[in-house]
Amino acid sequence: MNTEEIHGILAEQFGDAILELKSEAIDPWIVVAGEQIVEILTFLRDDERLQFDHLNDLTAVDYLEMDEKKAKKFPYEPHLEMVYHLSSFGLKHRTVIKISTTRWKDDKPGNFPDIPSVAGVFGIADWHEREAFDMFGINFVGHPNLKRILCPEDWEGHPLRKDYEFPQEYHGIRGQ
Amino acid sequence: MSMQVEDPRVIEFDVRTDEMLVNMGPQHPSTHGVLRLLLKTDGEVVSEVTPHIGYLHRCAEKIGENLSPPQWIPYTDRMDYLAAMNMNLGFSLVIEKLIGMDVPEKAMNCRLIIAELGRVASHLVGMGAYGLDLGSFSPFLYAFREREIILDLFEETCGARLTYSYMTPGGVTHDLPGMITIPPGLAQLTGNSPDMELEWKDAVLMFLDWLETRIHEYHTLLTRNAIFIKRTAGIGILSPEMAKSYGCTGPVLRSSGIDYDLRRDGEEIYTRMYEGYNFEVPVAPFDAAPRGVELGDNWTRFYVRMMEVVQAIGLVRQGLDKYETAAGSYREGFKMGSKLPADECYLETESPRGQMGFYVVGANAAEPLRTRAKSSCFCNLSVTAPLCENTLLGDIPSVVGSLDIVMGEIDR
């Protein structure tokens, strides 16, 4: 089943929560409203026609260009995106679901955006969301154990954000 | 050792002990690298396992945002360093998918031969190290002896023994070599003179002929070994539902009875490499399984890898047959500094340890906006906590070892 058909089924089920279909991309994607992501992924997993029983990947992308010269040619608006890659073992099709959000909640720097956690839908989302929290500073609402996973617990900042500043020192070890 | 406790609370009063936290790793030999497991134990029974990872985190994804794709290839080597060729392949393919590049038949043929040899080398380590975890030392030495020859053959191909950077966007860096001096290990094992000169292709075939006769010996040493079966059969059972939920892939998934292999079921850009090749996908349950083995247990995970080695050998042979007639060059030029389009794509390939995914977002610049490496071991490892609940302390290395993890790939 291709992404257009999947979009049709989702739009029928969730109506306004399905925001956009980008079908001309290499991997076509569907943008959905963040508030409903748990219901949407549960539906994708359980519906007989779709059977998306495998969450291949869950990650985020920070769309921002810090360099002023390059920023003029930068093809994206500054924002943060959650990306969910799904596939089905039985039906052997795949799709991409996205959530678009502001880089900071209410545009206050340091205020993490809220995304509902899907750790209850897919077991692996637990660790992937911890990694996304660690790297991007996204607050996964309802996550059972939202702690850093790759960086040490006392690490400052979220390294994969584009405006991340490299630390000058960490426990007496010089950085930069 | 193989007993499993149904309800850990039901332990006789006499032997009840206090709960204790035991730290296993990060320098523990049977954690396969720097993995730290925090075990909550009551006597010999482990009630809770908390894996702590990140000791080998090198910010590979952040570095990838500042490098052009060919420059990031060496970083993929250092993720899964036991199957570096397969990692190179995954990232090269995702870049080719992003820029819409077609790779010549010859390059695909070279990639297939090398990637499948890499799979053999990787599974040999998986087998040897697993034997070591369970206290059997000899298979480890045999496995490394055999792997050494593959490394020698790789060295003749690209000059490196561990971090190859051999496959790049557009093809491979060198054509397969012509005449070589026989690898010293191979000369010794086959009784040939160490000065013997032969075609690289013939050296590979000589090695495969020799390896095939050895596989039944590994089965005698481990697969059919009574102690090994006692320590692995019926332990660490991963149900198909759990395997799906935790995103387990590769041999771990197939040992739970789910028939899915990206070489057959993956995206066209990857499966076209395997078009016209005959191979089977070993999926549990197996008729050859000894008594006590259950679907998705440690023994089955081990056995799937052993069966995959046989299939990989067959694929290398077919690849070598087709090498002479494969059309085109071994490499299509990828211009250094060429811009990546403002689009994105994700691709998974069947790496020896599971489905290794790369996700690249381009932004009209030579460096991608985002490079993401989705590790298969990361997902496979996340299942340890539920899998190790209520097992015996001595079975923890047996379960973790059967997942065949490489920490370099998990921590990136």
Show me where the domains of chain A are located. Answer: 3-174
Q: How high is the pLDDT of residue A66?
A: 82
Tell me how close the Cα of B308 comes to any Cα of chain A, in angstroms: 20
Assign domain A3-174 one CATH number from 3.40.50.1820, 3.40.50.800, 3.30.460.80, 3.40.50.720: 3.30.460.80
pLDDT, one tens digit per residue, over A53-71 is 999 999 999 988 888 888 7
pLDDT, one tens digit per residue, over B191-223 is 888 888 898 999 999 999 999 888 888 888 888
Residue B318 banded pLDDT, cuts 50, 70, 90: very high
Average pLDDT over every residue of B80-92: 91
Q: How high is the pLDDT of residue B14?
A: 58
Residues on chain B touching A160 (C-beta within 8 angstroms): 61-62, 370
The Cα-based distances of B121 to A14, A168, B84, B128, B401 in angstroms read: 49, 42, 10, 11, 17
Distance CA(B340)–CA(B235), nearest Å, equals: 48
Q: How high is the pLDDT of residue B395?
A: 87
Name B110's Cβ contacts closer than 8 Å, sequence gap at least 6. Answer: B171, B172, B175, B176, B323, B330
Tracing tokens 């005449």 back to the chain, one arrives at B179
Tell me how close the Cα of A56 comes to any Cα of chain B, in angstroms: 7
Nearest CB to B247 within list A122, A135, A151:
A122
Structure-token pair, residue A38: 């748990």
**CATH homologous superfamily for the domain B13-411:** Cytochrome-c3 Hydrogenase, chain B (1.10.645.10)
Nearest CB to B62 within list A70, A94, A159:
A159
The DSSP call for residue B338 is P
Tell me how close the Cα of B65 comes to any Cα of chain A, in angstroms: 9
Average pLDDT, chain B: 87
Average pLDDT over every residue of B360-373: 89
Q: Are B110 and B176 in contact (CB under 8 A)?
A: yes
Residue of chain B whose Cα is closest to the Cα of A42: B245
Nearest CB to A56 within list B54, B374, B411:
B374
CB contact under 8 A, B265 and A151: no
Average pLDDT over every residue of B87-94: 92
Predicted-complex ipTM score: 0.89
CB contact under 8 A, B346 and A56: yes
Whether pLDDT at B4 is above 80: no
Outline where B238-391 has alpha helix (H): 240-245, 251-254, 262-265, 268-271, 298-323, 376-382, 384-388
Domain ranges in chain B are 13-411
- Tell me, rounded to whole angstroms, the distance of Cα B360 from its chain centroid: 22
Q: Is the pTM of this model over 0.90?
A: no
Residue B12 banded pLDDT, cuts 50, 70, 90: low
Whether pLDDT at A140 is above 80: yes
